[in-house]
Amino acid sequence: MMNLVSTACRAAEENGARKVKRLTVDVGEMTGILPKYLFHYFPEASKGTLCEGAELVVNEIEILVTCASCGQDYHPDISNDRCCPFCKGTAGKIKSGRELMVSDIEVS
């Protein structure tokens, strides 16, 4: 959380902002980070910074895999044994779900 706040403050300062009004963060399912903890620790992490008092918005990004066998995109989960539901392939390339980044900053 401290790194996200630091990143947002640095970007705001570089653009001449006086205050961050809203901070939007993308959190991938594979990061293991639970949004409830971001909301819990944000007020303390932002205390005394341009982000203090800002609204925190968290976008949860699902894991999306492109199957190496058939090329279809799918969400691996328990219901499909983490295999491609189209061809039952087990190899693939992760397309999304590892993100942890500031995606938008609204400033004044």
Q: What is the pLDDT of residues 42-68, one digit of tens each?
A: 999 999 999 999 999 999 999 999 999
pLDDT value of position 15: 93
pTM, rounded to two decimals: 0.86
Average pLDDT over residues 17-39: 96
Q: Show the domain range for 38.
A: 2-107
CB–CB of 60/103 below 8 Å? no
Residue 35 and residue 3 in contact, taking contact as beta carbons nearer than 8 Å:
no
CATH number for the domain harbouring residue 57: 3.30.2320.80
Count structural domains, the chain. Answer: 1
- Mean pLDDT (the chain) is 96
Helix residue spans in 30-97 (DSSP H): 35-46
Enter the DSSP assignment of 29.
Answer: G
How many of the other CB atoms lie within 10 Å of CB of 94? 13
